[in-house]
Amino acid sequence: MKTNAGDIAVRLGGTLHGDPATPIHGVGTLQDGQAGEIGFLADAHYRQYLPTSRLAAVLVSEAYPEAPITQIIVKDVKRAWRHLADDFAPPFPPPTISPQAHIDPSAILGADVSIGAGAVIGAGANIGDGCRIAPLAYIADGVTIGRDSNIGSGVRILEKTTIGARANILANAVIGERGFGNNFEDGRWLPVAQLGGVRIGDDVEIGACTTIDRGAVSDTIIGNGVKLDNHIQIGHNVHIGDHTVIAGSAVIAGSVTFGKYCVVGGACVFTGHITICDGAQFTGHSSISKSIHQPGAYSSGIPAMPALQWKKFFAKLKLLAKEK
């Protein structure tokens, strides 16, 4: 894409400080960007790079006199950048169905569907208009995927799964595999059949290598607008409320229910069979073992510290325990 700073300012409703004819052909960072690229400043920590940046232009929330580059002032830098990044994202290729894909004759394909080489579409699967199925994806029998969804390479979507419109499921995610259901009998663990499915709403993103188990009896449910990062484990019968976001490596045990608009930091761990209210937020590495009934921020992780300091700290904790 080739444009100029003036056109971008108009597109974003921003105020231009600099030459409107400044050519823009790509995007870059303040530290490493090159001539002809545009970047953004949304965190004061990166202001130090403005005076020496080689970018052609930058999105900012206020003017910075020390910056020798064209500036476009916008009310919300991150919002403006999201719109601009979409403009520079490479377009999807025209829809094609590879002759190396295996598509069951009973599957239903909408208009303008793309299916890559080695992908498998099972019997009775229903793929909505405009969907893109990457090479080596597996869509099991009877799965339904809503329109304009993107299914990445190596994704596995198993039986009894329903996915809404505009889903973005990244490489190697697994949806609908059996949950961790076992019963201890006569000195050994025996598997309990997992009979439910997975229901996923509209506008959901599921990160690479994230796993979502099917329900034990009823369904695991992912609400509208939920965003899941990479390497997340979601157990059977979890319910995640609309517009909740969960960062990478979080572990959510079975039958946890989240409300709407929750925010979960990376590597958080949730004990099973608890309820999290609307608007709860958890900082990274938190461990949550009881239900949360009031919105707000919660933490339980202990930040890293020098090893010697940690040993002294832990020794004092042991002494406190003995005093009790």
Catalytic residue among 25, 45, 83, 236: 236
Taking the C-alpha atoms of residue 202 and residue 139, their distance in angstroms, rounded to an integer, is 18
Sign of the C-alpha dihedral computed for residues 50, 56, 61 and 67 taken in this order: positive
| Bridge partner list, 139 | 121, 157
Please give the helix or strand (H or E) that residue 8 lies within, else none.
helix 5-12
> For the stretch 54-73, what's the b/e string if a residue is b when 16 or more beta carbons lie within 10 angstroms of its beta carbon?
ebbbbbbbeebeebebbbbb
Tokens for 205, please give them.
């993103």
| Bridge partner list, 205 | 168, 227
Helix, strand, or coil (residue 277): coil
Known catalytic residue at 243:
no
Strands (E), 51-103: 57-60, 70-73, 102-103
Residues annotated as catalytic (active site), given as ranges: 236
